[in-house]
Amino acid sequence: MSDLLRERIKHLLSGFQSQTIDAGSLEDELTALIGSELETSDALIDVGREARLGFGEAIYAAGKTPAQVVGIFQALRDTCGRALATRCSPETIAALRDGISDLGVDERARLVWFPGVHPSNSVGKVAVLAAGTSDLPIAEEAAGTLAFAGIGVERFFDVGIAGIHRLLGRIDKIRKADVVIVVAGMEGALPSVVGGLVGMPVIAVPTSVGYGASFQGLAALLAMLNGCSAGITVVNIDNGFGAAVAAARILKTISRSLS
């Protein structure tokens, strides 16, 4: 156990002793801090992650067999009541459909979630922008992950700078969001443009879309890291899921400051 965690636990216990923290709050805080694990034949599942961090553990299906994904997915469903798997192959999607009912599936985004109906709440709204149609699988991975978390999503697709009027014609709607996720390949210029037009947090996602000199997204990644609009957050190549979780963290912080 880290010293920081020990100090936090001591602070909570002291607050309970002085009656500034009630028993229910103490239980919630300790559960969130410590969490718990569920062991399957192939994995240790962090079932306390959602209480601790605000977003539960998701299954990264790439590199796992369909049977492994199904087993972990079922364990998450049975323990947490919810489950999300990313980067699912067609074979994995078929295995999940065979073994589990009431699923939501987005084959283009390679996402599978349970239950099939997304929850909804009022924690905020995220605008997800995609530069081109080829970027949609990654953009939909971000949008689907946000929807799984109950976060409102508005999609603005095919708004790349090759036809910048398409972006400018929608910028007023985009500005109504609390966070913007911008997905782009090729030269990766769209996030820098958007960052100069909106005041909310911008999360840039480079994709591996592009011709030979794009180097499977490296050119877009470097362009976004070197963008002239200050304050843009950049995630890894094709990491729509990571961008969505970053947005969820931002919204959780905003919600906490307003409560």
pLDDT in tens, 102-145: 999 999 999 999 988 777 766 789 999 999 999 999 999 999 99
pLDDT in tens, 207-243: 999 998 999 999 999 999 998 898 999 999 999 999 9
Query: What pLDDT sits at residue 220?
Result: 96
Residue 6 burial (10 A CB sphere; 0-12, 13-18, 19+):
exposed
pLDDT in tens, 152-167: 999 999 999 889 999 9
| 15 has pLDDT over 50 | yes
Query: What pLDDT sits at residue 4?
Result: 47
What are the extents of the domains in the chain?
Answer: 36-117, 125-258
Query: What pLDDT sits at residue 206?
Result: 97
**Averaged pLDDT, 246-256:** 85
CA 126/CA 252 separation, integer angstroms? 12
pLDDT band for position 25 (cuts 50, 70, 90) = confident
Residue 241 burial (10 A CB sphere; 0-12, 13-18, 19+):
buried
pLDDT in tens, 163-195: 999 999 999 999 999 999 999 999 999 999 999
pLDDT: which is higher, 11 or 64:
64
Percent pLDDT > 70 in the chain is 87
User: What is the phi/psi pair of residue 187, to 5°?
Assistant: -85, -5
Query: What pLDDT sits at residue 119?
Result: 74
Topology classification of domain 125-258: Rossmann fold (3.40.50)
Share the mean pLDDT of the chain.
88
What long-range pairs does 41-50 form, CB within 8 A, spacing at least 24? 41/71, 42/68, 42/71, 42/72, 43/68, 43/72, 43/75, 45/72, 45/75, 45/76, 45/79, 47/76, 47/79, 47/80, 50/80
